[in-house]
Amino acid sequence: MLLADDDYYKLLGVKRDASAAEIKKAYRKLARELHPDRNPGDKKAEDRLKIINAAYDVLADPQKKATYDQFGTSDFQGVRGDDIGAMFDQLFRQFGFQTGRRSQRAQGGAPQGESLRVSISLTFEEAFFGIDKEVALRRKIRCSTCSGTGAAPGTSPIRCSSCNGRGQVTREMGGFMRLSQTCPTCRGAGERIDSPCSKCRGAGTETTRMELKVPIPAGIENGVVQRIRGAGNAGPRGGPPGDLIVVFQVEPHDVFIRKGLHSFMDMEIPFSVATLGGEVEVPTMWGTSKLRIKKGTVGGSILRMKGKGVHADDGRKGDHLIQVEIHVPKKVSKAQERLLKKLEQEKI
């Protein structure tokens, strides 16, 4: 497997600023050398070829390459839209929403309800670990008094005689020309209400306020939009409901950023630790952890702490990635200065 601290460019034996053609050429050469036909039974060559293939896979794809150049990894996978979709569908059905209904206008029937938009704001921590979030929603539902017909109990809407209940009338325009238009008498409803329901005044809907407890899975990303079919406003006079559009907004964090299931940070390490190797304490979303620094670590290296990213509900785990900066002291004491001067004379 490729690791974040593997340098893909180094693996292919090219410079960081190598052109696409140079990368391809280097890859082809290595692929030929490591080909199983040339190295029968050589497990090491086989493994190396796999790594080379994976590295080339990233560097040959401009988008993956750009992400790798920026973050030192390209395997970003967050919580998938369809995961949340299925979960939401279930949740809203549980609350009595009729989700999944096709948004269509029934023939000669009442128009569809409006779509609703609700924004769920999460802190970085809430999005990282997942949380149950209370969401208040004002939503039109079918009027409970008239069951959405708009007609007073005991009465029914009367079929519109102008359009025969179709909601549309056809006008002859002379010759073979015919023009369909919305019925002007019933405005497309196909029916007329003589004694409107007193509760909804003939609208067929009433407004309710509901509090939903929405379980937010770990790993939601900022800007994710989820459309839940049929969970919007009920349509007037029994028309089909609109959709509910949920937008997630995640606050940024002071130290960490997130992409997919991974978290990232920049960290300064002392020049001496970078040179000699050692251990540093690294803050992660799971608390402080120790990280080994290899001898001769250069600035810009990206180190990976496996499993310290988001733990998704489906068992996938992201990593915590640290881009190392080497701390160069701006002020040094007399004693330190003497030591550094000595070091300089040693010409390391």
Report the alpha-carbon distance of residue 194 to residue 150 in Å, rounded.
10
Of 42-50, 174-182, 196-204, 295-303, which part binds Zn ion (CB under 5 A)?
Answer: 196-204
Q: Which is nearer to Zn ion, 186 or 312 (CB)?
A: 186
Amino acid found at 191? E
Is residue 200 a contact residue for Zn ion (CB under 5 A)?
yes
Nearest-approach distance from CB 84 to Zn ion, in angstroms: 34
- How is residue 161 written in tokens? 């005689």
Is residue 244 a contact residue for Zn ion (CB under 5 A)?
no
Amino acid found at 35? H
Residue for token pair 């779509």: 115
Residue 156 CA neighbour count, 13 Å, CB half: 4
Q: Which is nearer to Zn ion, 226 or 233 (CB)?
A: 233
Q: Which is nearer to Zn ion, 154 or 175 (CB)?
A: 154
Neighbours of 251 (CB within 10 A): 12
Is residue 168 a contact residue for Zn ion (CB under 5 A)?
no
Q: Which of 30, 84, 91, 186 binds Zn ion (CB under 5 A)?
A: 186
Q: Which of 52, 120, 127, 183 binds Zn ion (CB under 5 A)?
A: 183
Is residue 193 a contact residue for Zn ion (CB under 5 A)?
no
| Strand, helix or coil for residue 136 | strand
Q: Are 215 and 132 in contact (CB under 8 A)?
A: yes
Q: Which residue intervals of the chain are DSSP H helices?
A: 8-12, 20-33, 43-59, 62-71, 81-94, 124-129, 271-276, 334-345
Q: Which of 120, 160, 228, 244 binds Zn ion (CB under 5 A)?
A: 160
Q: Which of 23, 26, 127, 146 binds Zn ion (CB under 5 A)?
A: 146
Residue 220: φ, ψ to 5°: -65, 140
Q: Which is nearer to Zn ion, 162 or 275 (CB)?
A: 162
Contacts of 264 (CB under 8 A, 6+ apart): 71, 256, 257, 258, 320, 321, 322, 323
Q: Which of 11, 120, 197, 310 binds Zn ion (CB under 5 A)?
A: 197
Nearest-approach distance from CB 239 to Zn ion, in angstroms: 14
Give the chain's count of helices (H) and strands (E). Answer: 8, 15
Of 54-62, 96-104, 152-160, 334-342, which part binds Zn ion (CB under 5 A)?
Answer: 152-160
Q: Which of 53, 98, 162, 168 binds Zn ion (CB under 5 A)?
A: 162
Is residue 143 a contact residue for Zn ion (CB under 5 A)?
yes
Number of residues that bind Zn ion (CB under 5 A): 12
- Residues near Zn ion, by CB under 5 A: 143, 145-146, 160, 162-163, 183, 185-186, 197, 199-200
